[in-house]
Structure formats: C-alpha cells, structure tokens
C-alpha cells in the first residue's frame, strides 16, 4: 500500500526523437506490467503544455524526462521540486513550455501538487527515428526499480 | 581609430521561447545593418527521406510525429495528398470529422500561442510564468486559457484517438468514427469556451500594438464557401490563384548557408508586373488567412472582428494576436456546428486501391499553409515525398521584417535588442521546435 497523497500521477515527458522517448518507454512498461493497479495514473505527454493538462493541484506527481547529454548516457538524477537547478532554466520554445516552466506556471496557478519528484535520465542522441540508445535503454529497469522503492517505502 | 569599422554582431543563440536549435544573428557595420540570419532546425527534411520505401498507408501516422503541437496538420496534408493519388473522395460526414479534428488543433495551438507565448510580449513579461505570477487577474486569464486549450484537446482526443500524435486518421477516412454521444459530451465545454474566446478577442484588441506594417504578399487557401482548413485553391493578395498541384510551379525551396531548414520563396517574381514581389518573400498564417478569407468567416466571428474597432484585415503582424483570437472563436463555432449536425457514418472508411501516381495537398496548419507531395509506385509504396512547412515559407519574410527593425536596434543594449527581434519573430508563431525539449541542464558538484 502506497502512502503518498492521491491521486498519484506518474508523467513521462518525451518525444519520438531518439533518447527523448525514454520517459515514454518507462510509462509504457509500467502500464504493461500493470504496476500498482488502481493506485497510479500514468501519462505519456509531449512538452510542458501537456504536462499542465494533467495537473489539478491534487495528490502527488512523479515526472520523468530525458536529460541533455553530459557524457554519461543512462545516468539518472533525482530532484525534488522546488529545485534551484531546474527553475533557473530559461524559457525555451516558440510554441511550447519547457517542463520546468510548466511546473512553475502550475505553482503560480495553484495547480501544482504538494509533492513533486523529478527523475531524469541522461540521453545520448536525439535524432528522429534513431530509437533509444543501448545505454539509455539499460537505465529503464533501474529507474523503474528506483521508482518502486520510493513509492513503496513506508 | 576613428575610421576603424565599428562592427557589432547581435546573436541570440537560443531564442527565448524559441527552441534551442533556433537562433538569430543581426550583423551591424558602422551602425548599418549588414545582414540578418535566422537559423532554424527543421526535422521535416529528415521525414522526407524516412518516408521513401514505406507504404503510403503509413504516411499519416509517420508525419503526425513531425510536430507535437501541430500533428493534425501533418496528418491532414499527408492524408489528403495520398487520397488524391488513390482517387478517394470522402463522404460529407467523414469530411466534416476531418474539419472538426483540425478545429481542435487550431484551438490548442492558437490558445497556447496567444496566452502563453505572445501576450507576455505586449504586457512586458518574459513569459507566461511571470505573467501569471504578476497579479490574480492575469493568473485568472492564464487559467481560462488552459481551460479553453483543454477543450481543444478533448476534440483531438475524441476524434483523433489521443491528444498527442493522433492515431485515428487513415487513408480513406478514419479507423473509428466517434459515437454521437461522445461528441455531444463535449458541447457544454465548447460553448463555454466559445464565450471565453469572444472575451479573448476583446482582450487582445486592447493590447498595445507597435506601428509596424509592410506591403506583404499574403498567401492562404481559399475555399468556395468555407473559411479554409483542408481544401481550397492557393491564392495571394497579389492575385495568385492556383490549384495545390501547381504549388511547385509558383513556389520553390532553396538552401541558405546559415540554416539547416530550407527557405521558400515565390518563383514568378519577375513577371508580376507593377508592384511585383521582388524578394520572393511571402506571408502565411492567420493574418494571411483573414486577409484573404474574412468574408468566409461565420457571422459571429465577423461581428467579433467589427466590435474590436480595429481595422481588419490588417498588415500589422503584431495584430496577428487578435486574428488568432478570432480564429479560436471560429474553431469553437465550427466545432459546435459540426457536432450539432453529426450523424455517425455507416462506415468510417471508403474503399480504395493503392496504385502508382502523384498527389499534392495544401492544408491550413495553425501557422499557415502546409504543402505535401507524394509519389507512389504500383504497390502504393512511397517513391518520393516533399513537405514544405509553414515556417519554411515564412522564414524569408521574418528575415525581411528583422531587416526593417534592425536599424532601430543598433543603440539598444544587447538583451533589449534581442528581445525586440524575438517579438518580431514570434508574430509568426514559428514552428521551429519540432525538435527535442529535454532539459538543458548542467549540474556542477
């Protein structure tokens, strides 16, 4: 039994471009394995505006996203929001919000859940149709394990 | 030292609210503008290559992935181009469903741009976050925008099968037609949203617009009796009037060294006589659509336009935010009209036989016309694909606008100059970011 505030939403932000799809892959596997039946909503979204769509101020949020390459593809980072590192990122798009921007906007609109955890997996390549790289694919089960450990911890 | 050339380059590596691969350089020499370059990363180029050798039946699903904001536009241009090859004619109810799906995307895309990306430019904020944080009133405005956008999402979800990269469109129609009850369930929210959209028009019309206009050549679709989305002839404010199949005869794409996106320009610039378009630049998107099709808008939208007190159509691209708002009213109104008359078709798809041929289609993406051309072999496999997105078409015009404002930027601090230039670019709602959006993050430990 998970003790987190309900609804618990696990949201993967991604795109079909190479390792940027890793968060979608995590969500897909969690759905397939019917992880925590009835206890968790899973969402695969593209971009910050779609992230905003699933927030209503209630419950808990776990956000998963790819990280820009930094030399260690497949390595994972965990943040709790608010996190100074993420808020400092500047706005990024003509027609979308970055995930961190969406979280800030959600906070100012009063629709950000009280508990927000962010998991990032460092990507390697982001070419269209390249698929997820081996190093990043190897990180997916590790991330799922970490999520499970965190959710099920008493 | 007095006669040394005073060169200065203003470079914006990653335009704020423009995806990281986009950038802009204005080169000044002795206070004079030497050149303006807009750099755009443009994945459709890759997709043209991927599509070769794939079945034409896969094209709508593959092209939907080009863009997370306007996947329906890519589906619509591709599906209609392939259907032209296979001789598919849709019955009215399937045609109406395609239009309804497009309404959903216009709502999503326009609402996002109006409130989250463009309004902050006029109100002096660096983005939607600071705008929403500035006052409870503006927070309420953003909340309203998100609710309207969700109403658009619900249309795309119900007709397209899901909100992101919809999967329900297929050559010949749809995989599944929604039940009437599914669409009726959307009506209350769409009615609220249409009212909210009318308020948006009134609000947008009060924004402070800089005095800025040019003798643009506007290019858009024009349909016999509808405000254009999926069908029509390609027309321009300088008298162009061609079938979509003739697009390659009148427009061309060409490479510029500073951008990996191709730019597009008019081909026939030398023969247009007096007032001819010498640069080849042209303008697509809401301002162009309204300029060429205001008489096709429903009465409620025309009345909303009159009530703004603005002179519409306009040649001021900053007023594009008002026109976008009018198109949101139009999309909600059209959606309600289509749902009201909807009866599920007996079959969601019409029969066809794949064969060899060439098909072209132009549809109106939220940010302007989107041209697709496909060539198939006897088995219906793609031999060649050409995709000309609206932003490629606007890119030369954006550079022309930047050239015009560049002299006024010379003496401004760099950050301020960059912001002014960005505002000019944002008027076009450029789809620069059909790219990744991963967190650009550096953590030093």
- Look-up of token digits 């899901």: B162
Tell if the CB–CB gap between B437 and A13 is shorter than 8 Å.
yes
What's the gap between Cα B98 and its chain centre?
17
* Cα B60 from Cα B86, distance rounded (Å): 14
- Could you give the CA distance from residue A51 to residue A30 in angstroms, rounded to a whole number? 18
Indicate if the alpha-carbon torsion angle B159, B97, A53, B20 is positive or negative. Answer: positive
String of DSSP letters for B75-96: HHHHHHHHHHHHT----HHHHH
Does residue A21 come out as left (phi exceeding 0), alpha (psi in the -120 to 50 range) or beta?
alpha
Are B432 and B40 in contact, with CB atoms under 8 Å apart? yes
Q: For strand B263-266 and strand B251-254, is the pairing parallel, antiparallel, or unpaired?
A: antiparallel
Check residues B41 and B106 and name the one with the higher pLDDT: B106
pLDDT of residue B179: 97
Alpha helical stretches, state H, chain A: 22-32, 48-53, 84-87, 99-108, 134-152
Question: In angstroms, rounded to a whole number, what is the distance separating the alpha carbons of residues B55 and B34?
Answer: 47
pLDDT given at position B4: 39
CA atoms of B35 and B406, how far apart (whole Å): 9
Are B357 and B376 contacting, i.e. CB atoms less than 8 angstroms apart?
Answer: yes
Which residues is B233 bridged to in the sheet?
B222
Q: Which residue of B has its CA nearest to A12?
A: B438
pLDDT value, residue B41: 59
Question: A49: pLDDT confidence band, cut at 50, 70 and 90?
Answer: confident
Higher pLDDT, B156 or B69: B156
Q: Which two tokens stand for residue B113?
A: 């741009």
3-class SS at B254? strand
A53 contacts in chain B (CB < 8 Å): 146, 149-150, 153, 163
Distance CA A41, CA A8 (A): 6
Determine contact, residues A47/B68, Cβ cutoff 8 Å. yes
Instruction: State the Cα torsion B334-B335-B338-B342 to the nearest 10°.
Output: -170
Average pLDDT on B201-229 reads: 95
The chain A residue lying nearest B69, using CA atoms, is: A95
CB within 8 Å of B266: residues ≥ 6 apart: B217, B250, B251, B277, B280, B281, B282
- B368: which strand partners? B365
What residues of B are in contact with residue A120 (Cβ under 8 Å)? 439, 441
- Residue A78's nearest CA partner among A18, A152, A145 is A145
Question: Is-contact B260 B42, C-beta < 8 A?
Answer: yes
d(CA B129, CA A49): 12
Interchain CB distance below 8 Å, A94 and B150: no
pLDDT digits (tens, 9 = 90+) for A74-90: 999 999 998 877 766 55
The model's pTM = 0.88
Q: Which of B49, B120, B150, B437 to mutate to test the interface with A (most CBs of A within 10 A)?
A: B437
Find the residue in B nearest to A23 (Cα).
B438
Residues 293-332 of chain B with CB under 8 A from chain A are none
d(CA B268, CA B252): 10
**Phi/psi of residue B402, each to 5°?**
-65, -40
Q: Single out the residue of B393, B76, B75, B375 nearest to residue B245, CA to CA.
A: B375
Q: Residue B139's CB: how many other CB atoms inside 10 A?
A: 17
ipTM: 0.80
For residue B440, which residues of chain A lie inside 8 Å, CB to CB?
68, 89, 92
Q: How many CB atoms lie within 10 A of CB B215?
A: 9
For chain B, helix (H) and strand (E) counts, in that order, are 15, 13
B47-78: per-residue pLDDT in tens?
888 899 999 999 999 998 888 788 999 999 99
Interface contacts A/B by beta carbons within 8 Å:
148
Q: Find the CB nearest B117 among A47, A94, A127.
A: A94
Q: What percent of chain A has pLDDT over 90?
A: 55
Q: How far apart are CA A28 and CA A23, in angstroms?
A: 9
Q: What is the DSSP letter of B392?
A: H
**Which of A60, A67, A58, A63 minimizes the C-alpha distance to A18?**
A67
Q: Token pair of B311, please?
A: 């002179």
Kindly report the backbone phi and psi dihedral angles of residue B374, in degrees, each rounded to the nearest multiple of 5, phi listed first: -130, 145
- Cα A30 to Cα A98: distance, rounded to the nearest angstrom: 24
Q: What is the pLDDT of residue B7?
A: 57
The predicted model gives A113-140 an average pLDDT of 90
Question: Cβ contact (<8 Å) for B129 and A93?
Answer: no
Task: Decide which of B12 and B118 is more confident.
Answer: B118
Percent of chain B with pLDDT over 70: 88
For residue B45, give the nearest of B359, B376, B385, B362 by alpha carbon.
Answer: B385
The reply to whether B167 touches chain A by the CB within 8 Å rule is no
Contact B109 A15 (CB under 8 A): no
pLDDT of residue B2 exceeding 70: no
Residue B376, beta-bridge partner list:
B357, B382
pLDDT at B437 over 80: no
Measure the CA–CA gap between B427 and B53, rounded to whole angstroms.
Answer: 38
User: What whole-number distance in Å separates Cα of residue B375 and Cα of residue B365?
Assistant: 22
CB spacing of A89 vs B441 below 8 angstroms: yes
Task: Measure in Å the smallest separation between the Cα of A98 and chain B Cα atoms.
Answer: 7
Classify burial at B8, counting beta carbons within 10 Å of its beta carbon; exposed 0-12, middle 13-18, buried 19 or more: middle
What are the distances in angstroms from CA A18 to CA A24, B67, B204? 11, 14, 39
Q: Are the beta carbons of A94 and B19 separated by less than 8 Å?
A: yes
In sequence order, which residues have a C-beta less than 8 Å from that of residue B205 and are 6 or more positions away?
B308, B309, B310, B322
- What pLDDT sits at residue B409? 77
CB proximity B395 to A under 8 Å: no
Flag if A17 and B435 touch (Cβ within 8 Å).
yes
Whether the per-residue pLDDT at B443 is higher than 60: the answer is: no
Mean pLDDT of the region A20-28:
93
Using one digit for the tens of pLDDT, what is the confidence trace for B160-206? 998 777 899 999 999 999 999 999 999 999 999 999 999 999 999 99
Q: Give the per-residue pLDDT at B444.
A: 33
Q: Do A86 and B127 touch (CB under 8 A)?
A: no
- Of the pLDDT bands very low, low, confident and very high (cuts 50, 70, 90), residue B20 is very low
Q: Which residue of A has its CA nearest to B44?
A: A128
Mean pLDDT of chain B: 87
Cβ separation A70–B14 shorter than 8 A: no
Q: What is the pLDDT of residue A115?
A: 96
B8 pLDDT more than 90: no
Of B16, B128, B429, the CB nearest to A90: B16
**Beta-carbon contacts of residue B103 (< 8 Å; ≥ 6 apart):** B152, B155, B229, B331, B332, B334, B335, B338
E strands, B216-345, are 219-222, 233-236, 241-242, 251-254, 263-266
Higher pLDDT among residues B410 and B216, named by residue: B216
Q: How far apart are CA A32 and CA A48, in angstroms?
A: 25
């Amino acid at each position: 039994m998970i003790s987190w505030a309900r609804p618990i939403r696990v949201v993967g932000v991604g795109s079909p471009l190479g390792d940027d799809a890793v968060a979608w892959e995590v969500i897909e596997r969690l759905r397939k394995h019917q992880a925590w039946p009835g206890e968790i909503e899973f969402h695969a979204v593209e971009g910050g505006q779609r992230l905003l769509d699933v927030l209503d101020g209630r419950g808990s949020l776990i956000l998963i996203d790819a990280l820009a390459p930094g030399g260690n593809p497949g390595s994972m980072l965990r943040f709790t929001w608010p996190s100074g590192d993420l808020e400092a990122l500047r706005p990024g798009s003509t027609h979308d919000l970055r995930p961190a921007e969406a979280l800030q906007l959600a906070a100012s609109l009063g629709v950000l859940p009280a508990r927000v955890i962010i998991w990032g997996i460092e990507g390697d390549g982001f070419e269209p149709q390249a698929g997820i790289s081996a190093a990043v694919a190897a990180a997916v089960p590790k991330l799922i394990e970490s999520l499970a450990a965190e959710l099920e911890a008493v | 030292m007095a006669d040394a050339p005073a060169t200065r380059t203003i470079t914006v590596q990653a335009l704020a609210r423009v995806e990281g691969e986009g950038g802009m350089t204005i080169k000044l020499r002795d206070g004079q503008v030497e050149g303006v370059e807009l750099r755009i990363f443009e994945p459709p180029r890759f997709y043209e290559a991927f599509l070769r050798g794939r079945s034409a039946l896969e094209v709508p699903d593959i092209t939907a992935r080009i863009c997370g904001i306007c996947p329906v536009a890519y589906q619509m241009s591709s599906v209609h181009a392939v259907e032209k090859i296979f001789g598919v004619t849709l019955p009215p109810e399937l045609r109406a469903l395609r239009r309804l799906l497009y309404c959903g995307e216009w709502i999503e895309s326009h609402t996002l741009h109006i409130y989250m990306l463009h309004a902050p430019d006029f109100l002096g904020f660096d983005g939607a976050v600071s705008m929403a944080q500035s006052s409870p009133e503006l927070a309420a405005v953003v909340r309203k925008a998100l609710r309207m956008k969700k109403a658009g999402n619900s249309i795309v979800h119900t007709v397209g099968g899901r909100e992101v990269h919809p999967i329900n469109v297929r050559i010949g129609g749809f995989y599944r037609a929604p039940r009437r009850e599914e669409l009726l369930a959307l009506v209350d929210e769409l009615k609220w949203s249409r009212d909210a959209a009318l308020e948006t028009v009134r609000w947008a019309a009060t924004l402070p617009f800089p005095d800025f206009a040019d003798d643009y050549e506007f290019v858009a679709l024009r349909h016999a009796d509808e405000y254009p989305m999926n069908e029509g002839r390609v027309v321009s404010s300088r008298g162009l009037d061609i079938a979509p199949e003739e697009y390659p005869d009148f427009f061309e794409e060409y490479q510029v060294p500073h951008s990996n996106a191709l730019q597009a320009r008019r081909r026939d610039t030398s023969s247009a006589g007096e007032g001819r378009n010498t640069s080849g630049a042209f303008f697509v998107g809401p301002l162009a659509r309204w300029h060429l099709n205001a008489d096709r808008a429903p009465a409620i939208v025309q009345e909303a336009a009159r009530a703004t007190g603005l002179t519409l159509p306009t040649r001021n691209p900053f007023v594009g935010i008002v026109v976008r708002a009018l198109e949101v009213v139009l999309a909600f109104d059209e959606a309600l009209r289509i749902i009201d008359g909807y009866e599920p078709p007996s079959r969601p798809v019409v029969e066809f036989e794949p064969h060899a041929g060439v098909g072209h289609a132009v549809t109106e993406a939220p940010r302007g016309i989107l041209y697709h051309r496909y060539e198939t072999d006897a088995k219906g496999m793609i031999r060649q694909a050409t995709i000309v997105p609206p932003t490629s078409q606007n890119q030369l015009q954006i550079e022309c606008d930047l050239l015009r404002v560049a002299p006024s930027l010379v003496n401004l601090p760099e950050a301020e100059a960059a912001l002014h230039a960005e505002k000019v670019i944002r008027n076009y709602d450029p789809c620069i970011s059909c790219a990744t959006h991963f967190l650009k993050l550096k953590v030093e430990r």
